[in-house]
Amino acid sequence: MMQGPVVIIGAGHAGFQLAASLRQNGFSERIALVNDEGHLPYQRPPLSKAYLKGTGGPDSLMFRPEKFYHDQNIDLFSDRAVSIERTARKVLLASGVSLDYGHLVLATGARNRLLDIPNAHLAGVRYLRTLDESQALRACIAPGRRVVVIGAGFIGLEFAATARAKGMEVDVIELGPRVMARAVTAEISEFFQARHSAAGIRIHLGVQVTAIESDGGKVTGVSLSDGRHIAADLIVVGVGVLPNVELAAEAGLAVASGVIVDEHLLTADPHVSAIGDCALFASPRFGGSLRLESVQNAADQARCVAARLTGDAKPYDGLPWFWSDQGPDKLQIAGLTTGYDRVVVRGDRAQAAFSAFCYRSGQLVGIESVNRAGDHMFGRRLLAAHGSITPEQAADAGFDLKAALT
């Protein structure tokens, strides 16, 4: 059992869950939760979904009201951690406050990857990761306005669908050969591409934005690598994120494409763990190192570290799952659908309700479902238990998935 206070840097999905789970598990020493966003800890997924559409105020996003932190004796610091002194086991905050720790957890998340092209700094070029950014974008959505979305990943497409539904003219520019190419199978990409196009979103694949065009500091459009120009009043950039690893690196901890941790989510320093979007963790389940960007990963890793710090240490073995709402369609992913060699479709694409079952060497590795929540829940349960069904069973509409679980 761990002795001394726990300091958590970052209060996103990972940091918040860790503080809450520690108290649920009976941890009675001090918990300091440090966050630099100037808001109570809040949920990110609605920022590109319901919140962007204009439903609810910032309070609707908060995990818990302020009273919760008071009642649970969790000390919230609205401040930025600027350095870690590992020998003395102290974290220094920008305000000058110094926090002692028995255990330190880095839950610093990730930040937007910024565009590096001419005029990218203009006010009409926006990003979507934080509450403040979503709030600002919400105010820009208006019928008839023209937006260019750079990047056809989850966030770019979620924004595009909302903007289009609100009557905006929307062009999406993607360098890759298909939408969400790094994250989903071609079957899912093709479906969403067709749905967004049918809704009136113009998707341009295999091209790059080379410059933002402007007039007197106001965005007027973009130039593309194929020589075309597209007019726009607003640019929304969704070209991925960078993990926040600098604090760890400056403290002498090993970092690569994330803060390096073992299967217990512990760094080489037995007093420092890392969880969530910032952590590059050793995965016995998948073999090798992984860094994932999802609510499931952040929350389950937090629970794993909370259990370890309260005397129940187990390697992290969470089953990855994810969702994305795009227009009327819900995409849900169970497992890791990378490195597959065979895809079997179950359900009906024409009815917008189907799943792509992904196999590697005959073993089911993941399921991507569109409007098929039952398939998704089946996948989560089966894959968590390291189970599989054959491709033939997956393709057979008469095969009873529920029965396969028992």
Q: Contact positions toward ligand FAD, by CB under 6 A?
A: 9-10, 12-15, 34-37, 44-45, 47-48, 80-81, 107-110, 128-129, 155, 244, 247, 276-277, 293-296, 298, 322-324
By CB atoms closer than 10 A (0-12, 13-18, 19+), residue 91 is buried
**Closest distance between ligand FAD and the C-beta of residue 130, in Å?**
7
Q: Which is nearer to ligand FAD, 168 or 333 (CB)?
A: 333
Position 123, amino acid: A
**Is residue 204 within 8 Å of 172, Cβ to Cβ?**
yes
Residue type for position 96? G
**Residue 207 or 242: which CB sits closer to ligand FAD?**
242
Q: Residue 45 or 318: which CB sits closer to ligand FAD? A: 45
Least distance (Å) between residue 55 CB and ligand FAD: 15
Q: Which of 124, 258 has the CB closer to ligand FAD? A: 258
Select 51 or 359, whichever has its Cβ closest to ligand FAD: 51
Contact 315, 8 (CB under 8 A): no
CB of 344 to ligand FAD, least distance (A): 24
| CA gap 201, 236 in Å, rounded | 14
Q: Tokens in use for 128?
A: 């979507």
C-alpha 373/C-alpha 253 separation (Å) is 41
Taking the mean position of all CA atoms in its chain, how far away is CA 297? 9
**Cα–Cα distance, 121 to 129 (Å, whole number):** 17
Q: How far is the CB of 317 from ligand FAD (least distance, A)?
A: 18
- Closer CB to ligand FAD, 294 or 355, in the complex: 294
Opening angle at CA 283, ends 267 and 157, nearest 5? 100
Closest Cα to residue 11, out of 3, 2, 20?
Answer: 20
Least gap, CB of 143 to ligand FAD (angstroms): 23
Question: Between residues 45 and 366, which has the closer beta carbon with respect to ligand FAD?
Answer: 45
Crossing angle of helices 154-165/186-198, nearest 10°? 20
CB of 47 to ligand FAD, least distance (A): 4
CB 117: neighbour CB atoms within 10 A?
15
